[in-house]
Amino acid sequence: MKVKVNGDSMWPTLVDGDIANFESADEYVLDEGQIVIAKHPFKSELILIKRILSINENGIFLVGDNPDPTASEDSHNFGRISSEDIVGVWKK
Amino acid sequence: MMEEYMVAEAHCDGPCGVYDPASARIAGEAVQSMTKKMMALENPGTDNHEQFIAYLNTMSRYAAIKEEEAQKCKDELLILWTDFFKPQHLESNPELHNTFWQAAKLCSACKVEVSEIHAQELMDEIEAIHNIFWAAKGREVPWIRAS
Q: What's the rounded Cα separation, in Å, for the pair B70 and A90?
A: 48
Q: Predicted confidence band at A28 (pLDDT cuts at 50, 70, 90)?
A: confident
**For residue B88, what pLDDT is reported?**
72
**For residue B13, what pLDDT is reported?**
43
Q: Which residues contact A65 (CB under 8 A, 6 or more apart)?
A: A9, A10, A11, A12, A13, A14, A51, A72
A40 contact B CB<8A: yes
Pick from B5, B9, B137: CB nearest A46: B9
For A36, the enclosing helix (H) or strand (E) is strand A35-39
**For residue B14, what pLDDT is reported?**
42
Q: What's the rounded Cα separation, in Å, for the pair B109 and B124?
A: 14
Residues of B with CB under 8 A from a CB of A: 3-19, 83-84, 86-89, 136-138
**In the predicted model, is pLDDT for residue A44 greater than 90?**
no
Question: With contacts defined as CB-CB under 8 Å, which chain A residues touch B11?
Answer: 6-7, 9, 73
Question: Percent of chain B at pLDDT above 70?
Answer: 92
**For residue A71, what pLDDT is reported?**
65
**For residue B16, what pLDDT is reported?**
45
CA distances from B62 to B35, B41, B65, B92 (A): 8, 10, 5, 39
Mean pLDDT of chain B: 90
Beta strands A2-6; A47-56: pairing state: unpaired
The whole model's pTM is what?
A: 0.60
E strand intervals along chain B: 6-9
**For residue A70, what pLDDT is reported?**
65
**For residue B15, what pLDDT is reported?**
43
Q: Number of Cβ pairs closer than 8 Å across A and B?
A: 84
Cβ distance of A69 and B84 shorter than 8 Å = yes
Q: What is the mean pLDDT of each run of 10 residues along chain B (147 residues)?
A: 68 58 96 97 95 96 97 94 81 92 98 98 98 87 93
Kindly tell me the burial class for residue A45, based on how many C-beta atoms sit within 10 Å of its own C-beta (0-12, 13-18, 19 or more): exposed
